[in-house]
A and B are shown apart, each in its own frame.
Chain A
Amino acid sequence: MSAMIELDIEKRLGDFHLEARLAAPETGITALFGRSGAGKTSIVNALAGLLKPDRGRISIGDETLFDSTRGIDLPPERRRLGYIFQEHRLFPHYSVKGNLLYGGKGAKDQDEISFDAVVALLGIENLLARRIAELSGGEKQRVAIGRALLASPRLLLMDEPLAALDAARKAEILPFIARLRDELRLPIVYVSHAMEEVVQLADTLALVDGGRIAAIGPVEELTSRIDLRPLTGRFEAGSVLRTVLRGHDATYGLSELAFPGGRLRVPHVDLPLGSVLRLRIHARDVVLANGPVTGLSIRNSFAGTVVEVSPDRGPLVDLRIDIGTAAEPVMLWARITQRALHELKLRPGSPVFTLVKTVALDRPSPGRREAETEVL
Chain B
Amino acid sequence: MLTPLESEALLLSLRVGLVSVVFSLPVGLAVAWLLARRDFPGKTLLNGLIHLPLVLPPVVVGFALLVLFGRNGAAGAWLYQVFGISFAFNWKGAALASAVMAFPLMVRAMRLSLESVDRRLEAAARTLGARRARVFCTITMPLMSPGILTGSILAFARSVGEFGATITFVSNIPGETRTLPLALYALTQVPGGDQAAWRLTGISVALAMAALIASELVARRLDRRIRGAG
Using a CB–CB cutoff of 8 Å, the interface residues on chain A facing chain B are: 48-50, 75-83, 85, 87, 89, 91-93, 102-103, 105, 131-134, 147-148, 151
- Can you list 16 A-B pairs, Cβ within 8 angstroms, ordered by A? A50-B127, A76-B126, A77-B127, A81-B127, A85-B120, A85-B124, A87-B120, A89-B121, A91-B125, A93-B143, A102-B130, A131-B228, A131-B229, A131-B230, A147-B128, A151-B127
B227 at the A/B interface (Cβ < 8 Å)?
yes
Interface residues of B in 91-127 (CB under 8 A from A): 120-121, 123-127
B220 at the A/B interface (Cβ < 8 Å)?
no
Closest residue on chain B to residue A87 by CB atoms: B120
Q: How far is the CA of A134 from the CA of B120 in the complex (A)?
A: 21
Q: How far is the CA of A77 from the CA of B230 in the complex (A)?
A: 30
B139 at the A/B interface (Cβ < 8 Å)?
yes
Is the beta-carbon distance between B129 and A103 smaller than 8 angstroms? yes
B226 at the A/B interface (Cβ < 8 Å)?
yes
Is the beta-carbon distance between A133 and B128 smaller than 8 angstroms? no
Size band of the B side of the interface?
Answer: 20 to 34
| Given A85-B120, A87-B120, A92:B127 Cβ within 8 A | no
| Given A103-B130, A105-B129, A147-B128, A76:B229 Cβ within 8 A | no
| Given A92-B226, A92-B227, A132-B228, A103:B120 Cβ within 8 A | no
Is the beta-carbon distance between B131 and A83 smaller than 8 angstroms? no
**Across-interface contacts of A80 in B (CB, < 8 A):** 129
Beyond the given A83-B124, A147-B128, please list 19 additional residue pairs across the A-B interface where CB-CB is below 8 A. Answer: A50-B123, A50-B126, A75-B131, A76-B126, A77-B129, A80-B129, A89-B123, A91-B121, A91-B124, A91-B125, A91-B139, A92-B226, A93-B225, A93-B228, A102-B130, A105-B129, A131-B229, A133-B229, A151-B128
**Across-interface contacts of B225 in A (CB, < 8 A):** 93
**Across-interface contacts of A93 in B (CB, < 8 A):** 142-143, 225-226, 228
- Which one of B121, B126, B227, B228 has the highest number of Cβ atoms from chain A below 10 Å of its Cβ? B228
**Across-interface contacts of B227 in A (CB, < 8 A):** 92, 133
Closest residue on chain A to residue B130 by CB atoms: A77
- Which one of A82, A85, A102 has the highest number of Cβ atoms from chain B below 10 Å of its Cβ? A102
Map CB proximity to A onto B55-99 as digits: 1 under 8 Å, 0 otherwise.
Answer: 000000000000000000000000000000000000000000000
In the complex, what's the smallest C-beta–C-beta distance from B223 to chain A, in angstroms? 10
In the complex, what's the smallest C-beta–C-beta distance from B168 to chain A, in angstroms? 44
Closest residue on chain B to residue A85 by CB atoms: B124
Closest residue on chain B to residue A80 by CB atoms: B129
Interface residues of B in 110-161 (CB under 8 A from A): 120-121, 123-131, 138-139, 142-143
Is the beta-carbon distance between A103 and B128 smaller than 8 angstroms? yes
Is the beta-carbon distance between B139 and A76 smaller than 8 angstroms? no
Q: How far is the CA of A48 from the CA of B126 in the complex (A)?
A: 10
Is the beta-carbon distance between A75 and B126 smaller than 8 angstroms? yes
| Given A85-B120, A131-B228, A77:B142 Cβ within 8 A | no
In the complex, what's the smallest C-beta–C-beta distance from A167 to chain B, in angstroms? 25
